[in-house]
Structure 1
């Protein structure tokens, strides 16, 4: 079987870490900055960074619309932290007029964790795996609502914050919708490659089964 071409959006953020994670799994990865590089992708990773900066640069570099078209055509995409924001159809606490690539039927609150507890780490129970995933959250978003086609993979209980009232509320931090995978945290900074391997499995699935 031919090895898939995995692109990492290389406008800003944790590009190198994602490239290294994919290559540790024996698959070639490359930075994406141009529309023709989007066209080469069998799968695309949208890394953490600063979402408002990334979307502006995506337009400047001419990859905004090609990525949107790719998502609409079923391109597998993995968004982490700011990448989750970039994939969301709906934002809360976004910058005025902030655009996204879209495609993920979810409402994401930008910088939701960062306003209260800043960076933190947690071991998360994942529906995909038998053992917990160690997650690093850095000024992270969370998901407040998902559509019917979105599978929730992991959540964390939050005792305070927007919409939680006086009681702990499970905040969604990892989801999958067809060939789209998104996490609030940064799996690329840990040695655990299970989520990157899961994304490669998604990429390898026949288009009709996604």
Structure 2
């Protein structure tokens, strides 16, 4: 393990000599440590390869395997406070010791170079609800609102949260109290709540 500026880098020995695409940055570096430090400064970097033969350093925001390149060593980034799911290529942080409004939580996530979590696939939802930190009875802020168009919740990625999704709680969204324009996870299902109420939240790196 190599620790640089709050990020732990672990070598993935099962993927030696593999190349990954597309890199967000390609440069030369005299040493592995310089390479990893360079990739730390790229907020979206989730992995790095350092080629010991050519001194080529690549930083990646995804791990799509392509052509084998002799001499490559793959390092995956583990960021302090974040959990990493290698199958999803996903960094998430469950904030269970602070309660924030939607806008405050959004700002906190942005400090890390991230955003409130987008649970736009069943795989992501299954992973999150399977974490021991995510308690059934707690509310957790998610990255979607219907601020632009009432009753049309949109993820921060721009995709719409389907009204037909089985991930909605019963009779949700209902805007029961008015101005329930922000999305949360409650009892492991979607629920609409007011944006200014305070609750736990989940960040993801992008």
Q: Same fold (TM over 0.5)?
A: no
- After TM superposition, the score normalised by the length of structure 2 is 0.26
- After TM superposition, the score normalised by the length of structure 1 is 0.26
* Structure richer in helix, relative to its length: 1
* Structure richer in strand, relative to its length: 2
Greater relative contact order (CA < 8 Å, ≥ 6 in sequence):
2
